[in-house]
A and B are shown apart, each in its own frame.
Chain A
Amino acid sequence: MAKIIGGLGTSHIPAIGGAIHKGLQQDPYWKPFFDGFPPIHEWLKAQKPDVMVIFYNDHGLNFFLDKMPTFAVGAAPQYVNSDEGWGIPSLEPLKGEVDLSWEIINHLVDKEFDITTCQELLVDHACSLPLKLFYPEGNYPVPVVPVCINTVQFPLPKAHRVYAFGRAVGEAVAAWDSSKKVAFIASGGLSHQLEGTRAGFINKDFDLKFMESLLTNPEWATQFSIHELVEKTGTQGIELLAWLAMRAALTVGEGAGVRKVHSNYHIPISNTATGLLALEKVS
């Protein structure tokens, strides 16, 4: 059976792509953000995951409002990152892990999650940037399964539902007949809001509580409605749903516990409170 080794959460602001492209990692504006990553690079070198399952939200690259799935699972041999319209360089395609995709799809539908399956899927910076941040050298070394959660058009899936969904994805990975090591990525958040007269809203207290809860009390955020989470974290801060799914996936299999490998929190990059967290599964 496949082995779940841990989960990584990170923000995914498009401007990060520009900063990497221009080599600005040690620039005073960017340094507090990029300096969070080396301990995670070390952990990845030691752990060597073979596959990454990425919880993220599409930003209007693949999905338009004509058809907007609540949960979508990639099942493609490769995922292309193309022009997103705002001038950040497109990155090389990500390799897929189709066997695991179908393992996840079959299990989710069996568990009554009525998902959309995608044998072609454009992936945006929310998928490509976390991998660039976690593996800064060379091309992407691991194949992926992208799992998209709608945060674009309300109603969004409830936090409680997203947690159950993430756990079901974890169950599918744990049951996968493979000797591979699998890690989860959560891409998004933390608090930020781009639109409206509350643009620029950030909530440090809530973000720090949320990050702490993922260690000590993973279901904590499921007590809140989507409306309450938007109020507390902003219209894009709601991307924290991806973190909740990632954490839920780690509750499956031997030992529900996690240990914190490393975390970082920095305000602001662009309009966003950036979070970074690496959790290792322990039995």
Chain B
Amino acid sequence: MASRTPLPQIPGTNPFDGEYAKRGYALNKMCFSFNSAENRAEFLKDEEAYMRKYGLTEPQAAAIRAKNVLQLLDAGGNAYYLAKFAGIFGLDMQDIGAQQTGMTKDEFKAMLVAAGK
């Protein structure tokens, strides 16, 4: 069987491939369910019960409890679905960016502005 040569690592970047898709299925399925307001309310009412319903792994559940985006990614979360989890808590993309890069939100926004100069 032909094996593929691993692609060079892009710094700070892990494309969401089959490995992540397998690892993160339960987590992403739960996040996909947050398209529904009813499901968002159910989650907020009892987060632990909701996570059990979707069969999250322990690292996934821990990352949800901590609202830690890098942990959620490592647990197989996909950015497009995780965004719906972040939305429940009113976090915008600069909150998320700041958390992942270890910056304050203002520092992160300044970095974006600087990229346009």
Contacts and interface: CB of A to CB of B under 8 A. Distances in A.
Contacts of A195: 69, 73, 79, 82, 96, 100
B7 A227 contact: yes
B44 interface: no
A65 B20 CA distance: 11
A60 B24 CA distance: 14
Interface in B16-47: 16-18, 21, 25, 28-29, 31-32, 34-37, 40
The secondary structure that dominates the A interface is loop
Grouping DSSP codes into helix (H, G, I), strand (E, B) and loop, the B interface class, with mixed when no group exceeds half, is helix
A268 B113 contact: yes
Contacts of B60: none
Interface string A205-219: 000000000000000
A234 B93 CA distance: 15
Contacts of B100: 195-197, 199
B36 A273 contact: no
A200 B112 contact: yes
A59 B83 CA distance: 9
A65 B78 contact: yes
Interface stretch (A80-88, A113-121, A275-283): A80-88
A271 B12 contact: no
Given A194-B79, A204-B116, A85 B17 contact: no
Interface string B88-105: 101011101100110000
Contact of A153 (B8, B73, B78, B101): B78
Nearest to B84: A85
B32 A194 contact: no
B35 A199 contact: no
Contacts of B87: 85-87
B66 interface: no
Contacts of B15: 154, 227, 230, 235
A202 B80 CA distance: 18
A266 B117 CA distance: 10
Interface in A170-227: 193-202, 204, 227
B49 interface: no
Contact of B37 (A83, A196, A197): A83
A185 to B, nearest CB: 20
B13 A193 contact: yes
Give chain A's interface residue range (CB within 8 Å of chain B): 35 or more
A155 interface: yes
B36 to A, nearest CB: 7
A231 interface: yes
A15 B92 CA distance: 9
Given A195-B79, A270-B92, A60 B32 contact: yes
B113 A196 contact: no
A267 interface: yes
Given A61-B35, A198-B11, A271-B97, A153 B84 contact: no
Contact of B16 (A15, A152, A268): A152
Given A193-B13, A231-B10, A268-B112, A199 B97 contact: yes
Interface in A133-166: 152-155
25 contacts: A60-B81, A60-B84, A61-B35, A66-B29, A83-B37, A85-B35, A86-B83, A153-B16, A153-B17, A194-B93, A195-B79, A195-B82, A195-B100, A196-B14, A196-B100, A197-B100, A198-B12, A200-B101, A201-B13, A227-B7, A227-B10, A230-B13, A234-B13, A236-B79, A268-B112
Given A66-B29, A268-B113, 17 more contacts: A85-B36, A86-B84, A152-B80, A154-B15, A154-B17, A196-B14, A197-B100, A198-B11, A199-B101, A202-B112, A202-B116, A204-B116, A227-B8, A234-B13, A235-B16, A267-B112, A271-B112
